[in-house]
A and B are shown apart, each in its own frame.
Chain A
Amino acid sequence: MAYVRDSEAPRLSAPIGSIGAYAWAKDKLFPTPLSALGTLAIAGLFLIIGWNLLDWAGIRAVWSAPDRELCAVDGTGACWPFVFAKFHQWIYGLYPFEQRWRVNIVYVLGIISLAGLLIPSQPAKNWNALFFFVIYPIIAFFLFYGGIFGLPVVETDYWGGLTLTLIIAVTGIVTSVPLGILLALGRQSTMPVVKTLSVVFIEGVRGVPFITVLFMASVMFPLFMPPGVNPDKLLKAIIGGSMFASAYMAEVVRGGLQAIPKGQYEAAQALGLSYWKMMRLIVMPQALKIVIPGIVNSFISLFQDTSLVTIIGLYDLLGIVQAGFNDAKWKSPQTGNTGYLALAVIYFIFCFSMSRYSQYIESRTNRGLKR
């Protein structure tokens, strides 16, 4: 039986009710009675939680008060005046009040140059990178620490709050990427010494909790050093954080390297590219793109792990917020709750921004790039 189509089948629009919001809800939210029940139950739960939060943080909350008096009344909600009163301290820590303009300059410079780096269309990328990665840290250090141009010295003990958190996190983030790449390459190296050193470093650091690294750096390290040699507490925390982040970063990068087909290496070699050019031009751009989510995951982890430096006596954001709870002027049953909620919001803003930015970069690099 032969069959030959003699007329074109018509191209029709999709049936009514099969696309659009109604179809979506019917398909995704209420496909069967049981899932409809589940949808309603979860929606109800969210409503209850949302209402309670709104009630506590908004309706019953105290919005302005000179001290703990109003917050201590039974049945009140969040104690927002505490947050307003302490907010400067949360940002600057114990940095001397009349010197805080120095910190502000660092913030402004940092935000401008970081924005320049993060906006893909910004033309002077190389100069911007040079400024942000080399010149800016030097400027920032001397502004923070002082001691030149007649700026009074501010010891690192006085650095604190969000500023300290950012110092540790940004240094860790910026150093962990190149170190992580080198460690990942080292781990794949055919040179036994390089390979062994990389593996020992990665596994050694990953095998120990961050808190232990910090304790060892602050408590045990001085015991092994000659008397009088005791590097700055903050410096030790920064080095510890960077080492820790690098080891994790190395494994993330290694994951990306493993996804690159052998043919890419061979094609690069056959064209005469040297090892470093091959890595830089062919392998890393592809490998790093694949592991953007993992890299950002590491950044976020590190950002949050900085809160552990509290235990070695540094007052990062978490430390300074908690210190405020003991202020007799503001002690109330709701002070702690309010402080932690505000703290969570601040951490969330930073981490969520990193996450969104990475998704933006991912979708950008995906354009026209199908394998």
Chain B
Amino acid sequence: MTKTEKDIPAVELNHVNKWYGQFHVLRDINLNVAKGERIVICGPSGSGKSTLIRCINRLEEHQQGDIVVDGIPLTGNLKNIDDVRREVGMVFQHFNLFPHLTILENLTLAPIWVRKTPKAVAEANAMKYLTRVKIPEQANKYPGQLSGGQQQRVAIARALCMNPKIMLFDEPTSALDPEMIKEVLEVMVDLAEGGMTMLCVTHEMAFARQVADRVIFMDEGQIVEENSPKEFFTNPQSPRTRKFLEQILH
């Protein structure tokens, strides 16, 4: 890999603005994420953090500013959107597995239909990732037969099957029962240690401390503070950050 290629940021947002109708939901967002960097985004509900990461794979459209993902600018160009979505994996709060397909089919669907991978190869790859998230024995079950934690691990494996360069997590543990959060976080830690570029909206502060390179605090559609986890938790600069941390760290 040449030096210049490596220098291309994984994600680059310049003066991004977005409105829902008249409501200004993202205000002047500037963010650069280098390859291999792990970012945790937190903030009160309604602060725009989910909207922000959903803009990165175009589930939401921004109206102003530039978003460049792995060198591909996100504009109205449909081909670019397809290209970006192939590079970016996403994990949702509510898993969003396809209930009419088995776990294995959930994992192989996109590789087969989008990447045109032969079925046998896709299945072998899927089993590899299912093993990595520690549930290979569930391959032939349907999502409805799995616990929430297992479903979310399947969802992570499903995203990984597309070989993404960047992974987005939208509150991946918020819909889980407490005893299942750990198993999902373990998979995410494992992924982070493997060098994956990650943007993660979460309130799991222990996770942020352990793996994040940077923590970003958002409020009312703006990035209020951006800092290393250590500084962020021990020495928050903005009063709004301090107030937020007081509320969630009891």
Contacts and interface: CB of A to CB of B under 8 A. Distances in A.
A307 interface: no
B197 interface: no
B100 A270 contact: no
Given A272-B86, A371-B99, A281 B113 contact: yes
A66 interface: no
A370 B144 contact: yes
B145 A270 contact: no
Interface string B209-221: 0000000000000
A92 B219 CA distance: 76
Contacts of B27: none
A271 B86 CA distance: 7
Interface string A246-274: 00000000000000010110111111111
A369 B100 contact: yes
A273 B159 CA distance: 13
Contact of B158 (A269, A271, A286): A271
Interface string A335-371: 0000000000000000000000000000000001111
Interface in B48-82: 57-59, 82
Band of interface residues on A: 20 to 34
A289 B98 CA distance: 14
A277 interface: yes
Contacts of B162: 271-272
A371 B98 contact: no
Interface residues of B, number: 28
Given A263-B94, A266-B92, A285-B100, A272 B114 contact: yes
A274 B99 contact: no
B110 A271 contact: yes
A269 to B, nearest CB: 6
Contacts of B142: 368-370
Given A273-B114, A277-B113, A281-B109, A267 B145 contact: no
Nearest to A268: B98
Nearest to B102: A368
Contact of B85 (A264, A272, A368, A369): A272
B114 A271 contact: yes
A270 B94 CA distance: 14
Interface string A119-151: 000000000000000000000000000000000
A347 B97 CA distance: 43
A72 interface: no
Contacts of A274: 82
Nearest to A278: B113
A273 B110 contact: yes
A279 B29 CA distance: 33
B96 A267 contact: yes
A289 B100 CA distance: 10
B113 A369 contact: no
B229 interface: no
Contacts of A369: 99-100, 142, 144
Contacts of A266: 59, 90, 92, 96
Contacts of A286: 98-100
Contacts of A289: 100
Contact of B98 (A267, A269, A272, A368): A267
A268 B82 CA distance: 12
B85 A269 contact: yes
Interface in B10-28: none
B148 interface: no
Contacts of B149: none
A282 B57 CA distance: 19
A270 B156 CA distance: 12
A256 to B, nearest CB: 12
B172 interface: no
Interface string B189-230: 000000000000000000000000000000000000000000
A274 B83 CA distance: 11
Interface in A267-309: 267-274, 277, 281-282, 285-286, 289
Contacts of A267: 90, 92, 96-98, 155
Interface string B155-179: 1001100100000000000000000
Report which residue of A267, A270, A281, A282 has the largest number of chain B beta carbons within 10 angstroms of its beta carbon: A270
Given A263-B96, A277-B113, A270 B144 contact: no
A282 B113 CA distance: 12
Contact of B89 (A264, A270, A282, A285): A270
Given A273-B109, A277-B114, 16 more contacts: A263-B96, A267-B97, A268-B98, A269-B57, A270-B57, A270-B59, A270-B88, A270-B89, A271-B162, A272-B114, A272-B162, A273-B113, A281-B109, A286-B99, A289-B100, A371-B144
- Report, nearest first, the 9 A-B pairs whose CB atoms are least far apart: A267-B96, A370-B144, A271-B110, A263-B96, A270-B90, A272-B85, A272-B114, A272-B86, A368-B142
11 contacts: A266-B90, A266-B96, A269-B57, A270-B90, A270-B159, A271-B110, A272-B85, A272-B110, A277-B114, A285-B100, A369-B100
